[in-house]
């Protein structure tokens, strides 16, 4: 989403009451995270079985097309060649960051004589095929941007319904590996027809192309206008909400919307079909060190795509350390693919989030919205609805410190910095029953208890 999101304001605002009363455990707690069934039918192109990881140009570089004044930072093949070099040479690729994604403003202002999309000849003189070849030679994948309207959000040629098949074929011939399809200058009816039509057209090319849709963001992000079962049948990932900006307020607004509406959004996500809260802005200008750690942890607990939008040529060591945290990435890429939930919202402005993982493991994030001083938060796993007779080995995701033999009934304390997080990976060493998995369960009026198979 681009201009349209800003004109509309915050989608879904005031449409749903907060998910938790202050100072209480969210009624559905752990159970809903593991109990709600995923959509029974999904887009099965075999792609995006874990959340896609890589780099996306938009938030950091926008629609800067003035290559004479700013050749290093304009939207040009040079920028993408250089970012591909950094992903391949600076340790990103080996961690799973494999996509180099072009966003808006890459094309010429007009289609060619055959009606085909073409890149701007001055900024992409080698062409997209050559760029894709370069990216592939580095062991990476290339993503590109389109829009289901007459124009893209930046005013470049869009993909109207009569061009869907042709543009899908063009992208495949170029060797594109991911398509992000925006929705500026398109109607609700055009979107309802065009997004599924592009899914079919991409599959018909025979080339594996991950499909990212902005469809729900243009329809308010919530039922009844958004049907997440249909969405998962057509898209590998989708933008639900507003564009992220380079600010902590923007990150918080996204978090608030996603977790206020978690009962709708959480069951929609899973292998091959993901909610996308937008790019990681770690390494830019708007977040403090603590806030950067928080975005990484909270995006990970949401099973969100990890698409960085920062200058990898000059990224700081501290930002790089956050983004290259191996245990964090392992949690994000967990093959079970369950999106986490907020399970506690305290009057003290502390929130707790839980993501169930494979092999009966879990991730917990303790998040502080406080702005005064570090806060000591005391609780127990039993209070967070973990099985009472289980014993866990805990590893702090950032400090890497290990706590062995933590019983569910043991009280513990974590010290959380203002706007910061403490994140734990928990592995059971004594299991009372078999591991968790996604199961169906009746939702009782008194809320849900943890579900174990």
Per-residue pLDDT tens digits for 342-383? 999 999 999 999 999 999 999 999 999 999 999 999 999 999
pLDDT at 17: 31
Q: pLDDT, tens digit, for every residue of 275-298?
A: 999 999 999 999 999 999 999 999
* pLDDT surpasses 60 at 27: no
The closest of 199, 272, 278, 194 to 237, measured between CA atoms, is 272
- Measured distance CA(108)–CA(245) in Å, rounded: 26
The pLDDT of residue 12 is 32
Which whole number is the average pLDDT over 196-220?
98
pLDDT-based confidence at residue 43 (cuts at 50, 70, 90): low
Give the chain's radius of gyration (CA, Å): 22
Q: What is the pTM of this model?
A: 0.89
Query: Distance between CA 352 and CA 221 in Å, rounded?
Result: 24
**Average pLDDT value for residue range 256-275:** 98
**pLDDT of 393 above 60:** yes
Quote the tokens at residue 377: 């938060």
Mean pLDDT of 259-288: 98
**Which residues share a beta bridge with 374?**
none
Rounded percentage of the chain residues whose pLDDT exceeds 70: 86
3-state class (DSSP) for residue 205: coil
Q: What is the pLDDT of residue 278?
A: 98
Residues annotated as catalytic (active site), given as ranges: 182, 243
Q: Is 395 helix (H, G, I), strand (E, B) or coil?
A: strand
Handedness of CA 135, 136, 138, 139 (dihedral sign): positive
Lowest mean pLDDT among 130-134, 299-303, 433-437: 433-437
Place 238 in a pLDDT band, splitting at 50, 70 and 90.
very high
211's enclosing H/E stretch is strand 210-213
Torsion angle, CA of 168/172/174/179, rounded to 10 degrees? 60
Tokens of 93: 């690729």
For residue 451, is pLDDT > 70? no
């Amino acid at each position: 989403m681009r201009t349209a999101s800003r004109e509309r304001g915050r989608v879904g605002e005031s449409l749903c009451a907060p998910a938790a009363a202050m100072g209480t455990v969210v009624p559905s707690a752990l159970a809903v995270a593991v109990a709600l069934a995923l959509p029974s039918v999904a887009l099965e192109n075999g792609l995006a079985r874990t959340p896609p990881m890589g780099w996306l140009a938009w938030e950091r570089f926008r629609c800067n097309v003035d290559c004479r004044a700013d050749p290093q930072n304009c939207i040009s093949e040079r920028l993408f060649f250089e970012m591909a070099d950094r992903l391949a040479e600076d340790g990103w690729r080996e961690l799973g960051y494999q996509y180099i994604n072009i966003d808006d403003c890459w094309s010429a202002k007009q289609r060619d004589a055959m009606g085909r999309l073409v890149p701007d000849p001055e900024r992409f003189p080698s062409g997209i095929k050559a760029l894709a070849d370069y990216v592939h030679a580095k062991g990476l994948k290339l993503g590109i941007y389109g829009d289901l309207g007459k124009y893209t959000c930046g005013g470049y040629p869009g993909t109207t319904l009569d061009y869907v098949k042709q543009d899908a074929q063009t992208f495949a011939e170029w060797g594109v590996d991911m398509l992000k399809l925006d929705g500026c200058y398109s109607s609700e009816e055009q979107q309802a027809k065009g997004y599924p039509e592009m899914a079919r057209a991409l599959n018909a090319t025979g080339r594996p192309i991950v499909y990212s849709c902005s469809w729900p963001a243009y329809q308010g992000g919530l039922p009844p206008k958004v049907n997440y079962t249909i969405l998962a049948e057509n898209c590998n990932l989708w933008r639900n909400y507003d564009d992220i900006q380079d600010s902590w307020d923007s990150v918080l607004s996204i978090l608030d919307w996603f977790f206020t509406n978690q009962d709708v959004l959480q069951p929609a996500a899973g292998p091959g079909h993901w909610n996308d809260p937008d790019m990681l802005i770690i390494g830019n200008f708007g977040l403090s060190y603590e806030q950067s750690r928080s975005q990484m942890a909270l995006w990970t607990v949401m099973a969100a795509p990890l698409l960085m939008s920062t200058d990898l040529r000059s990224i700081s060591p501290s930002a790089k350390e956050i983004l290259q945290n191996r245990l964090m990435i392992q949690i994000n890429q967990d093959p079970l693919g369950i999106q986490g939930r907020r399970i506690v919202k305290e009057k003290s402005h502390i929130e707790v989030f839980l993501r169930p993982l494979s092999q009966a493991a879990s991730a917990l994030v303790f998040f502080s919205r406080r702005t005064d001083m570090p806060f000591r938060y005391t609780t127990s796993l039993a209070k967070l609805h973990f099985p009472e007779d289980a014993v866990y080995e805990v590893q702090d995701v950032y400090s890497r410190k290990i706590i062995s033999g933590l019983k569910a009934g043991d009280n513990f304390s974590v010290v959380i910095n203002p706007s910061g997080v403490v994140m734990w990976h928990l592995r059971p060493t004594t299991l009372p029953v078999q591991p968790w998995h996604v199961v169906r369960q009746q939702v009782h009026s008194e809320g849900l208890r943890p579900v174990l198979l």
